[in-house]
Structure formats: C-alpha cells, structure tokens
Chains A and B, each alone.
Chain A
Amino acid sequence: MKILVCLKQVPDTETKIKVAGDGKSLDPTDVKWITSPYDEYALEEGLRLKESAGAEVTVATVGDDKAKDVLRNAFALGADHAVLIKGDGQGDTLATASILAGFAKDKGFDLVLSGNKGLGGDNSAVGPMLAELLGYAQANVVVKLEITDGKFRAEREIEGGTEVVEGSLPAVVTAQKGLNEPRYASLKGIMAAKKKTIEETEVAGHAPATGTLAMTLPAARAEGRKLEGDAASQAKALMDALKNEAKVF
C-alpha cells in the first residue's frame, strides 16, 4: 500500500497573533512554526499502517524552505520519503489542494491522509477538495480507521456522536484527535533523519480562488466583576446577574 500524508506547517498554538504592516497577514516576528497538530494524527496513522500492513509512507508539504522542518520531523518519526512542493504554504485551499492533487495524481497512492483542519487558517477544506480533484472517496474528521482488502471503514465525528463511513480505496482520510496517540521521535530516528534526502519539486496548480483582504484582532474583552460572599450567595448573585443584567435567561 502506498500512503501520502499531507503536512502543513503552521504557527505554534502559543503564538500571540499580531497583524503585519500590510493589515492582512500574520506578523511573522517571533512566530515558532510547528506541524499542524491534526497532521500529527494523520502521520501516526500512516506509520501504524506501515508497521501493520507494510505500507510505504510519503510525506509532502506545500511551503517554503522553512517547511522542511516538518518533513525532517516526519523522517525522524519513520516516513520513507519526504517532498517539499515549493509554494505558498498558507495560501488558498483550492490552489493548495490542486497542487497536492497534481503531485499525487500519477503516483498511485491508495490512501491520502491529512489533518481535518490546518491550524491557523482553520479552513478544513484541503482534504475534501483533494478527494474531489483526485476522484477519490473521502472520510473526514476521522477518529477510527480500519483498512481491509482495499476497503475502508472510518468512524467520523458528527454532532453528538460518530457515523461510520465505508468505501473503497483509494481514499482521502482526514484525521481528528482521538484517532491515535502520536509517537515521539527517538534519538535514533532524529539521527537517521539527518541522512535522508528531502526531495524538492514544483507543481503547477489552480490560481488562488480566495484571498485575505484584511486581518483584525478581536476587541479585547474587559475583565468583569467578581461576586462576593460565601458559595451560596455567590451562586445567587450570579444567577441574578445572568437573569436580570445579562438577560441570558
């Protein structure tokens, strides 16, 4: 089985967002870049299939030179091949999906794994778009995946529960927290990763179909008031405030 795992490099979750001088992008000063957390579940699932079913795992990212870090990290965890597809890693989803589709289309991947959402852009779109562009089945926001005889059974999160999606490979499956517990890189893995080669390529894609026109920060919330007294009087004061002041009820 041949597996492609799509990895997106994103700002660390600790990042305090500042808007750049252009008024529409993230000020990159002091930003630490990481692999998008959901992509870690996708990679882990690929590595587990490699171990249990003998799959070959290729990781790819659309990005700039600094995005090589996510690829090197994937090598350290056990990926077989890593590809940097040069382009705008934070760009429009249709453009990104079409680049990934262009890369994947002739390579015979049975399974494409991605995160259900790239942190930051929070688009949750590249997976399903990629599935459509490749003409593959999809299972999105998946918390459990079984693959047998060219078929998949995936449990995906829906409102108030999960639903079971079944289909045939090839498929795009997007990972959700709960799918697995990602491993940590071993020292041996990290050393071995240094010797592996990251391939670099360029793939033509769709022109960006969307663009960010402006980025703003939400108005800071003002600190409210503390309710005094013992637990019972605090509770009564809160319920009273919610009902009569905030009019929540």
Chain B
Amino acid sequence: MSEYLPLVVLFILSTLVAAIAVALGHLFGPRRPTERKLQPYESGMTPFGPGTRRMPVRFYLVAVLFILFDIEVVFFIPWAVVYRKLGLFGFVEMLLFAGILEIAFVYAWKKGALEWE
C-alpha cells in the first residue's frame, strides 16, 4: 500500500496549491463589480444567445470512438508487460484482437467519421 503514498502526497499538494491560488485571489483581489464585468465571459465579446447551446452530434461520435480505442489500449497494457514471456502465441493472439478492431478503424476512416469537415 505504501507505494501509493507519493500519489496521495501529489493529490494533497495539488489540491492545496489550487485552493491557495483561488483563496489568495479571493482575499486580496479588488472587487468593483459593474454590470459589464458581471456578464458571462465569452472570449471578450458581448455574450449572445443562450448559455447552454446544443452541441453538434459530431462531438458525441468522437467521444464514442475515443472510448472504444481507450478500452483497446487498456487491454493492451497487461499484455504488454508480459509480452516477452508470452512468445509468438501471445503475439498472434494480440494481432487477432487488434486486427478485428482494425476493421472498425478502417470502417470509421472510410465513412469519413474521423474527418472534421
């Protein structure tokens, strides 16, 4: 369990640094609000339209593709740490696994799902 100690320290330190940064700004920053300053920030322009706009469905597709390749990578990790021990058999197994997913990749590519206009 002790090998997780650096992670815990990192987690606490990063939380502290973020909290201190926000707290100091909150404590010492001058606050003179005007109506303009209280507007939602929109890259420096005057905001227009509703704040919650519908996103294009394209983002959803990209997120789904990301999940699937993410899961593929997670399957790769335990295989990769014992790759040398597994020999040719393990290599062929992973080739089969990756090959099946490659069909999906080619399909997505040919459909143009990986392109952004």
Partners in one complex: no
Chain B: residues with CB nearer than 8 A to chain A? none
Interface residues of A (CB under 8 A from B): none
